[in-house]
Structure 1
Amino acid sequence: MTPVYSIGFLLYSSAMHKNHAEFLPLTKQEFEAQHGTASPDFIIVSGDAYVDHPSFGTALIGRLLESRGYRVAIIAQPDWRNTEDFSRFGRPRLAFLVTSGNLDSMVANYSASRHPRREDAYSPGGKAGLRPDRSLVVYTSRIRQAFKGVTVALGGLEASLRSLSHYDYWSDTIRRSVLLDAKADYLLYGMSETTILALAAALETAVEKGSQPNVETIRGLVRVVGKNNIAYDNIISSQYDDITGSKTVFLPSHEALIKDGTRYADHFALQMKHADPYSAATLIEPCGDRFIVHNPPPFPLTTEELDAVYELPFCRRAHPSYAKAGGIPALQEVRFSLVSSRGCFGGCSFCALTFHQGRIITPRSKESLLREAQKLIADPDFKGYIHDVGGPTANFHTPACEGQKHRGACSNRQCLFPKPCPSLKVDHTAYLDVLKSLRKLPGVKKVFIRSGIRFDYLLLDENRSFLKELVAYHISGQLKVAPEHAGSRTLEAMGKPPIEVYEQFSRLFYEETKRIGKKQYLIPYLIAGHPGSTLDEAVELALFLKKSGFIPDQVQDFYPTPGTLSTCMWATGIDPRTMKPIFVPRGEKERHLQRALLQFNRPKNYDRVRKALRQAGRSDLIGFGQTALVPPERNRHP
C-alpha cells in the first residue's frame, strides 16, 4: 500500500541536503561529475529551457526530488525529431517525468488567432520553434521508442488542464485525456510536490519488491484502468472509498461528449464541484474500453512546507549553456521577485487556477521571504529593486475565511462573486507587514507589486492602509488592474464585479495619488470577444473607455485555453454554472469588430467601428459630436 503522507510530508532538514552542484545536470558529463557512473533516478524532460529558479516547475520539482536524495537529470528542449537527445542519460532507475514547461505548448506556440508566435520567452534568446506542438505526446512517444517499458509520468500546466476530456481550441474538438494520447503511465495535476514524492516512494517500493507500484491512494494522480480489471473493481468498491476517504463520481463518457458537445457543460460542472481537496470525489471518466481515474486533489501545503520548497538551493539563474544565445527572457520578470503566496479565490471564469493551484491561500512566512530577499540583495546584478511580491493575486495573502482552513472552499459558491460572501475575511495586515519589512532591508530601494491586485477585495477593507501604502510605495508609475470589461452581461460571465466597483477604486486611487503629489496611472486589462459579449456589450465598453479617457495600446483577445469555465462556455454555448445558453462571439468577423471597438480612435479601425455601430443599431455614435466614437466616411463629411 502506498505510504500515507501527513501534512508535514514535505518538511526536511538541512542535513538532508547533500553537497550539490550549482545546477542540476543537463549533460552526461555534468551528471557523472556529480554522481559517478550511477543511473539517474528521475529524468525530467521539459519543453522549457532549464532555469534554476522556483518560478520554473522543472527546477522546483528537480530540486525537491534532489533534497530527498534522488539523483535527477534534466533534458531541456530536446530535439524531438529522433531519440538521440532522449537517450543521453540512459534509462532512469525510476521514471521519466515529462512536462511541456510553464505554458501549454499550444499556447506557447500559437496566438489567440492561431498564428505561430514569433518569440518564446522560455527559450534561449526568445527563439520560437524549440518545442513541438502537443509536447507531452511527442516527447513520450520518443521516450517509448528509446526505452521500451520505461515508466513515464506527465506533469505541469499542460498535463493538469488536459487530464480529462477537454475542449481543444486549435483543432476545435473535444479531445480525450492527454494521458491516453501520450500513452504515459501516470499524470500528476496541480502543484505536485506531495504527489511527486508519494509517487517516487511508490516507485521505489515497487523496484525493491519487484511488484507493480501501488498508486491508488495518491492524491493529485491520474491513471488509466481497463474494464474488467481488478483496479477498476477496487475503484467502485466500498473498500476503495474507505482508503481514499472520498466517494467516486462518474463523468459523462468521452464518447458522449463527442456525440453531443453540449454534454461538456455537465462534464465541466462536475469537475468544478470536485476541485477542492476537502470535498472532492474520485472522478471516473469512461473512454472506449478504459477508464480515466482522477484521484482527488492534493491538500495545499502548509506555510512551513511552502517556505521549505522555496528555500531549496536554487541558484536563480539560467543554465550557463544559454549565455551565448542571450539567456532566457522569462527569467528577467521573476529573477528579482518573491512569491509570497499560492492559491487564488478570485474565481475568474477565464482563469485555470482553480484546477491548478486551488482556491485555498497558503502564504509564505515573513521570515522566509526576508531570507530570500537577502539572497536577492547579495546578487551582484541586484540594483535595489524587488520587482514583485505576490502570487496569483498579490493581495490575497490569507485564506478567504476560517472555514477554508478546516473544510476547504465551498463547492456551491464563490468567495467574491456575484457578491462577496458574508464569511469572507478581508485582511491586508500580514501582507502589509511583509512589505514594510522588505522596504526596511539595507540595499532595498523600492519594492514593487506587479502580480495583480483585486480591487474589489481591496475596497472591502474598511482600513485604507493598504491602498495608501500601495500608492505611496509600491507602484512604478503605473498600476495594472483587471476590470476586463464594462458590459454587465460579460462581466457576469467572467465572474467579475460590476464596472461601478472599478470606477469607485479608480476614484480612490487618483484621490490618494493626488494627495501625496505623485503622477501615477491605472492601466486596465481588457478582454475582447469573451463569451457573453455581444456587439451591444462591446459598444458599452467603448463608451466606458471614451468616458474614462483611456484607450488601450494593446487588446487581449479571449483565448479559449483548456481548463477554464470560459472555454467551456465557448465550446458549448452554455454557462455550466446555470446550464443556460450564453452568447458566444465565435466568428472572426465578429471578433474583429469587437476588438476594433476597444481602439475606436485609431483611423485604421474606423471602417470596422462604423460597421459594428450600424449592426448594433448605434449609428448615433458616428459623427463629430461629443458623444461620437468615430467620424463618418469622408464623402459624408460636412
Structure 2
Amino acid sequence: MNAERPITDWLPLTKKEVEKRGWEQLDVILISGDAYVDHPSFGTAVIGRIIESEGFKVGIVAQPNWQDDLRDFKKLGTPKYFFGVTAGCMDSMVNHYTANKRLRSNDSYTPGGEAGFRPDYATVVYSKILKELYPDVPVMIGGIEASLRRVTHYDYWADKLFPSILEDSKADLLVYGMGEQPLRSIIQELKAGKSFKDLHQIKQVAFIQNKEDKLPDWTETETVELASHEECLEDKIKYAANFKVVEVESNKWQADRILQKIGERTLVINPPFVTMTEQEMDKSFDLPYTRLPHPKYKKRGPIPAFEMIKFSVNMHRGCFGGCSFCTISAHQGKFIASRSEKSIMKEVDFITQQDDFKGYISDLGGPSANMYKMKGKDESICAKCVSPSCIHPVICSNLDTNHTPITEIYKKVDAHPKIKKAFVGSGIRYDLLVDDFNKNNQDKNHDVYMEQLITRHVSGRLKVAPEHTSDNTLRIMRKPSFKYFKKFKEKYDQISAKFQLRQPLIPYFISSHPGCEEEDMANLAAETKDLGFQLEQVQDFTPTPMTVAEVIYYSGVHPYTLQPVKTAKTREEKLNQNKYFFWYKAEYKDWIRKRLNQMNRGDLAQRLLGFNKNNNQNFKKWK
C-alpha cells in the first residue's frame, strides 16, 4: 500500500508538480507554517482537499523562507482568487516558546523535528509579505493562531495587548474556528462570480470595515459591540468584560454579530455556523488524503507530529468542558461533531493496509476521548443555552452522556482481524465516569465503557487530568472537585485488580494557574503523595489567547464576575509553586520545610516531608 505513489496524489508543492497536472495558474495558494502532511489531522491538508473538492486548483507553499529573497512566496505564481495563510496546527508562539518564555529546541511539525522553519507571529509575517508582493490579490487567514487572535487579545510573549490579527496582518478576511463550512461557502460564492468583498455576509468570517463602508444587511441577527481596542488599552476591566461577550456568542446556536472599533475602523465578526452534522464530518474525513507526508521530506527525517498520529483515528471534534485554560472549545466549538461509525471503520481499514502497520492503533479518540456522540437530549434547550460548559459546576441534566456508541466502536475495532490492539491515547474526562458526579447515566453504561477501556485499550498507563486539588482553583479552572478523581481512582483500581492488570493511572496537574496560591501547591503535593503518586513532570500555566485564564492573568479579574483573582506572575512566584511537586528531591526539602513553617503550616511540612508508612516505601514513578 505504501509503494511508490504518483506525485499527483498529493496537492502540489512545486511549480513542476503544478505543471505535471497540466495547470497554468492556480486558483488558490495556501501558505503554511507546518510541513505538508496530507492527513485529516493537519489543517492545511483539510483546507486544501476541500478547495480541491469544490473544483478549484490549489497548491501549497509549506514553511516558506521569510528571511531572504522571498522566492518561496513567488514560486507558484499568482493565484486567480486568493492566498490562504495559516501559522499551522499550533499558535506559532506556543510552538516556539515554553511557559518560561524559553525558546524551544525542536518543532514537531517540521521534518527531523528541527526548529527555526517558521517565524514568530507567522500569520502576520506571511500575510504582510504577500500584501507587499501581491497588493491586488486578496489574503485570507485562518487556523488556530488567527482564530484565537481575532479580537483584541493579550500576548503573553510580548506582554501587551494586540488588536485583532486582521489589523496587524493587513489580511482581507479571517475564517475562525473549524473552516470547512465557511470555506465551502466562500468557494461557491467565488465560483458564482462574486468579489472578495461580497464574502462579508458569510458566517464564521471576520473582516475590518472602513468608516465609509456599510455592513451587509442581515435581518436574522442582532449586533453586539465590544469596548474598542483603544478602550481596552486604557482599561483592563473593559478588556476582561469583552471576553465574556465573545465566549458567550461563540457558544450560542443563534449568535449575534460582534463589532469592535479599532481607531476609525470597525472589526466585524459574523456569527458561527451551527455544529457540523455527521454527514458533513464524514465528507471532510473521507476526502482523498494520502495520509502521508509529502515525499520531498524523505531525506530530512520523520515529522514527529505525524509519527505520533499516523496510526490513530480522530472520531469527533469539540469539547463541552469549557476549561478556563484550554482553547479547544474556543476553536473547535462547545458542541460535539462526531463521525459515523462507517466513516471511522473505513479509516481503520485504510490504516491496516499500510505496509508499516504492525497491528496497533495508537489512539481512538478526540479532544476528550469519551465525548463521542454526546449532545443534548432536547436540542431546543441547547439552542438557548449560553453556558460555556455543559459539565461545570455540575453536569447539565439535559446532556446525554451515554457511552454506548463509543463502547460499540471500541469493540468493533478490537474485533478487526488485522488489529492486535487499539489504544485510547487521548485524555478522557474521568468525571463523566464517576457515579456521584454523573447522575445522568442511570443505566450505568459508563461502567461498561470503563471496563472495556481498562481491559482492552490502555497502553500501559491511562492519562487523566484532574489539574489541581484545591476546590477554589478548580472552580476557576471550571474543573470538578478533586474528590471525584479519588472516586474514579478507586473504581479504576478495583477494575484493574479484578483483571489483575498493572496499568498506572497518570494524573496531570498545572502549576501557577490563576487562583492558585503557594499553599494550594503544597496541599496538592501532600494530597498526591497520600495517594501514592510521586510526580516527575508538571505543566506550567501558559496564558494563551481566547481563554478565561489568560484574561485573568492579564487583567487581574475574572471576566464573568469582574472580581479580583490572585495569580502568580513573577518568575520567583512560579518557581516557588513548582518546587512543591518535587518534595522528594533532597535539594528542595529544606526550602519547603522553611517556607511552610513561615506560613505557619508546619502540619503540611510534616505531612509532605515526614515518614508515611503507607506510601513512603513504594511510590509509583512516571513521567
TM range (shorter): over 0.9
- Say yes or no: does 1:278 pair with 2:242: no
TM-score (norm 1): 0.91
- Say yes or no: does 1:254 pair with 2:241: no
Q: Which residue of 2 aligns with 1:617?
A: 600
**How many Å apart are 1:608 and its aligned residue?**
4.3
- Say yes or no: does 1:379 pair with 2:354: yes
Q: Structure 1: state its 5+ residue gaps.
A: 1-18, 235-239, 632-638
Q: Which residue of 2 aligns with 1:448?
A: 423
What letter is aligned with 1:521? P
CA distance in 2, matches of 1:417, 1:219: 29
CA distance in 2, matches of 1:405, 1:381: 47
Q: Secondary structure at the match of 2:573?
A: helix
| Equivalent pair of 1:94/1:204 in contact (CA under 8 Å) | no
| Equivalent pair of 2:513/2:568 in contact (CA under 8 Å) | yes
What letter is aligned with 1:61? I
Change in CA separation of 1:407 and 1:498 when aligned onto 2, cut-off 3 Å: closer
More deviation, 318-327/288-297: 318-327
Residue deviations 1:571-626 (CA, integer Å, cap 9, x gap): 11111222221111111111101111112111233354345424433234446633
**How many Å apart are 1:422 and its aligned residue?**
1.9
Q: Which residue of 2 aligns with 1:393?
A: 368
Q: Secondary structure at the match of 1:74?
A: strand
Match of 1:80 among 48, 66, 83: 66
Alpha-carbon RMSD across the aligned residues, in angstroms, is 1.8
**How many Å apart are 1:20 and its aligned residue?**
9.0
- Say yes or no: does 1:196 pair with 2:183: yes
Q: Which residue of 1 aligns with 2:151?
A: 164
Residue deviations 1:391-433 (CA, integer Å, cap 9, x gap): 1111101233123477537204631111112222220011111
What letter is aligned with 1:370? M
More deviation, 257-266/99-108: 257-266
| Equivalent pair of 1:78/1:86 in contact (CA under 8 Å) | yes
- Say yes or no: does 1:108 pair with 2:95: yes
Change in CA separation of 1:162 and 1:608 when aligned onto 2, cut-off 3 Å: farther
Change in CA separation of 1:180 and 1:354 when aligned onto 2, cut-off 3 Å: same
More deviation, 394-403/59-68: 394-403
Q: Which residue of 2 aligns with 1:13?
A: none
Match of 1:527 among 498, 507, 510: 510
| Equivalent pair of 2:150/2:164 in contact (CA under 8 Å) | yes
**How many Å apart are 1:327 and its aligned residue?**
1.8
Match of 1:54 among 18, 34, 40: 40
Change in CA separation of 1:411 and 1:615 when aligned onto 2, cut-off 3 Å: farther
Q: Secondary structure at the match of 2:506?
A: strand
CA distance in 2, matches of 1:204, 1:83: 30
| Equivalent pair of 2:248/2:388 in contact (CA under 8 Å) | no
Match of 2:115 among 103, 115, 128: 128
Q: Which residue of 1 aligns with 2:572?
A: 589
CA distance in 2, matches of 1:354, 1:214: 29
| Equivalent pair of 1:276/1:409 in contact (CA under 8 Å) | no
What letter is aligned with 2:349? Q
CA distance in 1, matches of 2:398, 2:476: 23
What letter is aligned with 1:128? A
CA distance in 1, matches of 2:375, 2:590: 47
Q: Which residue of 2 aligns with 1:15?
A: none
Residue deviations 1:432-490 (CA, integer Å, cap 9, x gap): 11111111111101111111110111222423101111111010110000000101111
Match of 1:186 among 164, 168, 173: 173
| Equivalent pair of 1:276/1:408 in contact (CA under 8 Å) | no
CA distance in 1, matches of 2:59, 2:479: 43
Change in CA separation of 1:257 and 1:594 when aligned onto 2, cut-off 3 Å: same
Q: Secondary structure at the match of 1:44?
A: strand
Q: Secondary structure at the match of 2:413?
A: helix
- Say yes or no: does 1:139 pair with 2:139: no
CA distance in 2, matches of 1:409, 1:520: 43
| Aligned ranges 1:487-526 → 2 under 5 Å | 487-526=470-509
Change in CA separation of 1:368 and 1:20 when aligned onto 2, cut-off 3 Å: farther
Q: Which residue of 1 aligns with 2:407?
A: 432
Q: Secondary structure at the match of 2:313?
A: strand
**How many Å apart are 1:555 and its aligned residue?**
1.1
Match of 1:335 among 297, 310, 333: 310
| Aligned ranges 1:322-361 → 2 under 5 Å | 322-361=297-336
CA distance in 1, matches of 2:534, 2:273: 43
CA distance in 2, matches of 1:259, 1:491: 31
CA distance in 2, matches of 1:151, 1:47: 19
Match of 1:227 among 211, 220, 223: 211
Q: Secondary structure at the match of 1:293?
A: strand
| Equivalent pair of 2:206/2:267 in contact (CA under 8 Å) | yes
Residue deviations 1:114-156 (CA, integer Å, cap 9, x gap): 0100000001100001100000111112112221211100000
TM-score (norm 2): 0.93
**How many Å apart are 1:241 and its aligned residue?**
3.6
Q: Which residue of 1 aligns with 2:3?
A: none
Q: Which residue of 2 aligns with 1:7?
A: none
Q: Secondary structure at the match of 1:138?
A: helix
CA distance in 2, matches of 1:137, 1:287: 17
**How many Å apart are 1:308 and its aligned residue?**
1.2
| Equivalent pair of 1:593/1:609 in contact (CA under 8 Å) | no
More deviation, 402-411/442-451: 402-411
What letter is aligned with 2:140? A
CA distance in 1, matches of 2:373, 2:196: 41
Residue deviations 1:538-596 (CA, integer Å, cap 9, x gap): 11101112101212221110010111111111111111222221111111111101111
More deviation, 423-432/247-256: 423-432
What letter is aligned with 2:323? C
CA distance in 1, matches of 2:591, 2:399: 44
Q: Which residue of 2 aligns with 1:218?
A: 202
Residue deviations 1:313-342 (CA, integer Å, cap 9, x gap): 111111111111112110011111111111
CA distance in 1, matches of 2:487, 2:542: 29
CA distance in 2, matches of 1:154, 1:609: 48
Q: Secondary structure at the match of 1:266?
A: helix
Q: Secondary structure at the match of 2:268?
A: strand
CA distance in 2, matches of 1:154, 1:430: 36
CA distance in 2, matches of 1:495, 1:434: 30
Change in CA separation of 1:318 and 1:165 when aligned onto 2, cut-off 3 Å: same
CA distance in 2, matches of 1:543, 1:554: 16
CA distance in 2, matches of 1:564, 1:573: 14
What letter is aligned with 1:626? F
What letter is aligned with 1:218? I
Which of structure 1's runs of 4+ aligned residues deviate more than 6 A? none
What letter is aligned with 2:58? V
CA distance in 2, matches of 1:289, 1:255: 11
| Equivalent pair of 1:105/1:134 in contact (CA under 8 Å) | yes
| Equivalent pair of 2:27/2:80 in contact (CA under 8 Å) | yes
CA distance in 2, matches of 1:250, 1:406: 26
| Equivalent pair of 1:400/1:415 in contact (CA under 8 Å) | no
**How many Å apart are 1:303 and its aligned residue?**
0.4
Change in CA separation of 1:115 and 1:611 when aligned onto 2, cut-off 3 Å: farther
